[in-house]
């Protein structure tokens, strides 16, 4: 028997919420097979199995909050069988085969756990097998209840495997009275999905039973239910704590600049029409990110942090650009490392990858640390300007407003131009108003005339 404890999933986070089990008790798993999804304060993470063997016990249910270091699952390692009850002595000549002690080797895995090489302290037992046409539980009951001289039907050598599914699917099948062994699996690696159970219920005329089961597990709303309460946890809890800490630690100042970005929009259109750049989605966000990297090189106080413990201001000579992403789980800020060393195309690809990963909920905690400056695009929601709050440990964050056609003075005349408002929030302990203004003007000048980027370094 071997316990698996919840590992530290990054940045010293003390706990995680169990989203769902991907295995059930009795399932056989291989080394590094994903066994559960857990949600930390930063991301949803899949936990790989640190052992090859059988899931003996799941210690928590979906929705539980688990402290790092707590036991979450117990395994019986390969070559071991843990019987539910003592077996009666077998008839002479029909005893269980005994395997020679065998050394097992385990390789390191994704979370730093693994079974150490070991030798069995006792002979290993072969798993009990089931009779053809009967369930494993029935056979076990017969074998264990039989007197010493009873004649029991010879079992076949093919062990019965428990159908693979998740706990919610097992509950649905139980509510509908469906034997999962009869359901055809369409999921990955033979996993029975909710759709498989529902399809089986439909084919066998059990749709009404499914509706009844759903009704029995979902309480009907009462007339006085005028509010919905949701627990504060996961990303929402972490975001709230970070924003409060930032707002009441760093004195925020926000300044605005409205800029004619017609030339940037024309550049973006020409790049998207370039067949050699097909597959690279270059947009205003990427151009703004490039402008930020250039402007930070000229205004290093925006690319710094306040180290209260050391009594120092730490300026970074690289740009790890945080990109705020709105997801179903809340706001997260994954980071593009060394963004200042990237070309415009590379930046666009990196930002696109971050956004796709964030929307899927698979951003690892390590990808959301180490940022030196952040950018957020609330313009995608049609918002013109805002006062973004700093990420803790950063001196500045730039907000991009929506691009809209407006009458604008251009070359001495009024013309309809593409216009955007930039919103810069900065830590006034580190950045003076003049420095913040110069940075914002530098960003605006690149967006107004992208060719100016050739003059900056």
Kindly state the tokens that stand for 251: 């004195």
- 148 assigned to active site: no
Q: Which residues contact 72 (CB under 8 A, 6 or more apart)?
A: 4, 5, 6, 18, 36, 47, 58, 59, 60, 66
Q: Which residues contact 62 (CB under 8 A, 6 or more apart)?
A: 18, 19, 20, 21, 167, 168
Q: How far apart are CA 28 and CA 46, in angstroms?
A: 18
Q: How far apart are CA 442 and CA 188, in angstroms?
A: 51
Q: How far apart are CA 152 and CA 394, in angstroms?
A: 73
Task: Give the DSSP letter string of 418-457.
Answer: EEEEEEEEEETTT--HHHHHHHHHHHHHHHH-GGGGGG--
Three-class SS of 158-226 = CCCCCCEECHHHHHHHHHHCCCHHHCCCCCHHHEECHHHHHHHHHHCCCHHHHHHHHHHHCCCCCCCCC
| Catalytic one of 59, 252, 280, 428 | 428
Residue 186 in contact with residue 195, Cβ under 8 Å? yes
Q: In Å, what is the CA distance from 92 to each residue of 88, 96, 385? A: 12, 10, 85
Residue 261 in contact with residue 447, Cβ under 8 Å? yes
Kindly state the tokens that stand for 417: 């131009």
Count of alpha carbons within 13 angstroms of residue 118, beta-carbon side: 14
First to last CA, the chain: 60
In three-state secondary structure terms, 294 is helix
Phi-psi label, residue 287: left if phi above 0, alpha if psi -120 to 50, beta otherwise: alpha
Kindly state the tokens that stand for 17: 């919420």
Handedness of CA 327, 328, 332, 336 (dihedral sign): negative
Q: Which residues are catalytic?
A: 428
């Amino acid at each position: 028997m071997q316990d698996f404890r919840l590992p530290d999933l990054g940045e010293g986070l003390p706990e995680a919420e169990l989203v769902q089990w991907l295995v059930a008790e009795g399932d056989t798993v291989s080394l590094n097979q994903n066994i559960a999804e857990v949600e930390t304060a930063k991301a949803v993470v899949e936990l790989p199995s640190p052992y090859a063997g059988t899931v003996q016990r799941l210690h928590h249910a979906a929705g539980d909050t688990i402290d790092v270091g707590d036991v979450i699952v117990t395994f019986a390692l390969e070559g071991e069988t843990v019987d539910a009850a003592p077996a009666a002595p077998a008839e002479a000549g029909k005893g269980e085969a005994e395997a020679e002690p065998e050394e097992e080797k385990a390789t390191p895995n994704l979370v730093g756990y693994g079974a150490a090489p070991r030798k069995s302290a006792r002979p290993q037992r072969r798993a009990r097998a089931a009779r053809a046409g009967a369930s494993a539980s029935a056979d076990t009951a017969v074998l264990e209840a039989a007197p010493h001289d009873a004649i029991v039907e010879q079992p076949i050598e093919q062990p019965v495997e428990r159908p693979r599914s998740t706990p919610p699917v097992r509950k649905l099948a139980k509510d509908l009275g469906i034997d999962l062994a009869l359901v055809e699996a369409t999921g990955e690696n033979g996993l029975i999905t909710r759709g498989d159970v529902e399809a089986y219920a439909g084919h066998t005329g059990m749709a009404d039973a499914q509706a009844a089961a759903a009704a029995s597990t979902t309480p009907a709303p009462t007339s006085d239910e005028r509010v919905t309460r949701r627990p504060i946890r996961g990303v929402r809890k972490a975001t709230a704590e970070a924003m409060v800490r930032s707002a009441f630690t760093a004195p925020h100042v926000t300044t605005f600049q409205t800029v004619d970005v017609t030339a940037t929009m024309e550049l973006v259109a020409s790049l998207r029409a370039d067949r050699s750049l097909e597959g690279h989605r270059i947009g205003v966000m990427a151009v703004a990110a490039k402008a930020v990297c250039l402007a930070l090189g000229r205004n290093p106080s925006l690319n710094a942090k306040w180290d209260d413990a050391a009594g120092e201001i730490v300026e970074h000579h690289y740009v790890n650009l945080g990109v705020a992403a709105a997801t179903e789980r809340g706001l997260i800020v994954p980071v593009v490392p060394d963004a200042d060393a990237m070309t415009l195309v590379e930046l666009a690809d990196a930002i696109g990858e971050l956004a796709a990963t964030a929307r899927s909920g698979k951003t690892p905690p390590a990808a959301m640390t180490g940022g030196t400056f952040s950018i957020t695009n609330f313009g995608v929601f049609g918002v013109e300007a805002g006062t973004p709050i700093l990420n803790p440990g950063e001196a500045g964050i730039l907000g991009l407003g929506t691009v809209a056609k407006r009458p604008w003075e251009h070359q001495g005349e009024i013309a309809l131009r593409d216009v955007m408002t930039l919103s810069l929030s900065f830590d006034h302990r580190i950045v003076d108003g003049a420095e913040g203004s110069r940075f914002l003007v530098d960003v605006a000048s690149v967006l107004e005339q992208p060719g100016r980027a050739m003059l900056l370094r």
